[in-house]
Structure 1
Amino acid sequence: MSGDNFGMQTAAGHLTVPAESKEPYAADVLAQLHEDAAQVVARYPQKRSALLPLLHLVQSVDGYVTGRGIDFCAEVLDLTTAEVSGVATFYTQYKRHPNGEYTVGVCTNTLCAIMGGDQIWDEVSEHLGIGHDETTPDGKITLERVECNAACDYAPVVMANWEFFDNQTPESTKQLVDDLREGKDVRPTRGPARVCTFKQVSRTLAGFSDGLADQGVGAGPASLEGLRLANERGWTAPDGKGGEQPKDEHQPQATSNETAPGRSDSTDSPANEPDEKPGEGSVAPATLFDADDKGDGKDAK
């Protein structure tokens, strides 16, 4: 696809979609698309369920969801073009105009924002000269303001083609986009050893392995701190059978002169033996037990 229209906008503010968006695929490209699509469709009992990965497959070829890509998906899955377009315009990972080689998403949700995400966004946007969902004239970077990158323990977080860059600053993020534009190999904080291009990632999302799944660290120390403490202190999840859980030696325990909530501290007047008889302003003993108590029930009427 031509890069001549990257960053161009109409008076209404919509990015220009190139005319070749509707041009037919070359015969060899179309043949490969059909071969790949057949593998994807075969994974599903109903072929219409393959629409999401097929849209990613189209993006892996065209760099965004083109008009011809819409037609292709509709033909393969026996759907209308309106049905395909409705899905393609609903999810933000599908682009309906030319996307950059790298999508850089800056999280500005609550935690990242107060940790510096808003400042990162402002400085990187000014540095690149583009706003949300706009692409640099060279077609390298599409900048997005992201609602949440699901990595709050490393805030502020930036993603490049959905790979994590943790604990970022305005300076480190500007260096990141500069390196990507210069074609340098950029290593994420976690995950594979390099950031793949938008087209390469789209093919992976379509269901074709890139061989990078086992590279790098999946969860860093901050994400695993709760697990470390649980292992260190012997904490386990409830067994669901009402069994008593191991006591935590780090939690304060009641001493002999402390009483449980709702119980009297007097040995002469236990909480389940009221001083007054039922009917004289007191509560009948049976009402002091919940439904799981094993009382004899004689006082329950």
Structure 2
Amino acid sequence: MPAHPDRIGDIIARFPHVRRNSLIPLLQAVQDELGYISEEAIVRIGSHLSLPSSKVYGLATFYNQFTFSPGGKYHITVCNGSACHLDGAGRLVEEIKKILDIGDGETTRDRLFSLEVQSCLGACGQSPVMAINGTYFSGITVKRLREIINQYLEDGSR
């Protein structure tokens, strides 16, 4: 998949001041818009901030919010924090794995879905919680999970 050089340049242009404290916001902007941090983005961000690519990559790999390969059209994030874990998040993850034939950190062959299990999504009072492309679903049951995934499967095939 191409690294979208024009889009990377557009993102970097929004950070005209060369400041090292722009590194994380720049990485977040690239992640938000492209869905992942490409090797080209790392090199160009490093060049813009006068940092070696190894420093940019080192910082990016420290945080689990950044990914380095393109994910699916629909990115499923399941919370496995204490409350969600106790309320059945593990069953949800197993069901997603069964339905989509992917594991944590993987993407379906058709690039429609990717799965990520996180330690907390910050909605403990509504557990178990998951998000798809930033849309949160709370109090999820296995039955409701199947309905949600089927809806996204229908929408994705259009």
TM-score, structure 1 length as denominator?
0.47
111 and 62 in structure 1: CA distance in 2 versus 1, 3 angstrom threshold: closer
Separation of aligned partners in 2, 1:149 and 1:60: 17
Runs of 4+ in 1 over 4 A off after TM superposition: none
> Secondary structure at the residue paired with 1:138?
coil
Separation of aligned partners in 2, 1:62 and 1:162: 15
* Equivalent position of 1:179 in the other structure: 151
- Aligned-pair distance for 1:62? 4.1
> Secondary structure at the residue paired with 2:67?
coil
Q: Is 1:41–1:50's contact at 8 Å kept on the other side of the alignment?
A: no
Percent identity between the two aligned chains: 30
> Secondary structure at the residue paired with 1:54?
helix
TM-score, structure 2 length as denominator?
0.86
- Aligned-pair distance for 1:59? 3.1
Matched, 1:71 2:43: yes
Separation of aligned partners in 1, 2:99 and 2:10: 42
* Equivalent position of 1:164 in the other structure: 136
Q: Is 1:107–1:147's contact at 8 Å kept on the other side of the alignment?
A: yes
Listed as ranges, the matches of 1:239-278 within 5 Å are: none
Q: Which has the larger radius of gyration?
A: 1
> Secondary structure at the residue paired with 2:71?
coil
Separation of aligned partners in 2, 1:125 and 1:114: 19
Structure 2 segments unaligned to the other structure (5+ residues): none
Amino acid at match of 1:157: V
Q: Is 2:11–2:30's contact at 8 Å kept on the other side of the alignment?
A: no
- Aligned-pair distance for 1:112? 1.2
* Equivalent position of 2:22 in the other structure: 50
155 and 61 in structure 1: CA distance in 2 versus 1, 3 angstrom threshold: closer
Separation of aligned partners in 2, 1:107 and 1:49: 29
Residue in structure 1 matching 2:64, options 71, 89, 92: 92
Separation of aligned partners in 2, 1:162 and 1:50: 23
Residue-by-residue CA offset, 1:209-238 (whole Å, 9 max, x unaligned): xxxxxxxxxxxxxxxxxxxxxxxxxxxxxx
* Equivalent position of 1:102 in the other structure: 74
> Secondary structure at the residue paired with 2:62?
coil
Residue in structure 2 matching 1:138, options 93, 96, 110: 110
Higher helix share: 2
- Aligned-pair distance for 1:139? 0.7
* Equivalent position of 2:13 in the other structure: 38
Residue-by-residue CA offset, 1:84-138 (whole Å, 9 max, x unaligned): 0012211122111221122211122221122121111111211111111111111
Listed as ranges, the matches of 1:96-245 within 5 Å are: 96-183=68-155
- Aligned-pair distance for 1:178? 2.7
Higher strand share: 2
- Provide the aligned C-alpha RMSD in A: 2.2
162 and 61 in structure 1: CA distance in 2 versus 1, 3 angstrom threshold: closer
Q: Is 1:112–1:152's contact at 8 Å kept on the other side of the alignment?
A: yes
> Secondary structure at the residue paired with 2:75?
strand
Separation of aligned partners in 2, 1:82 and 1:168: 41
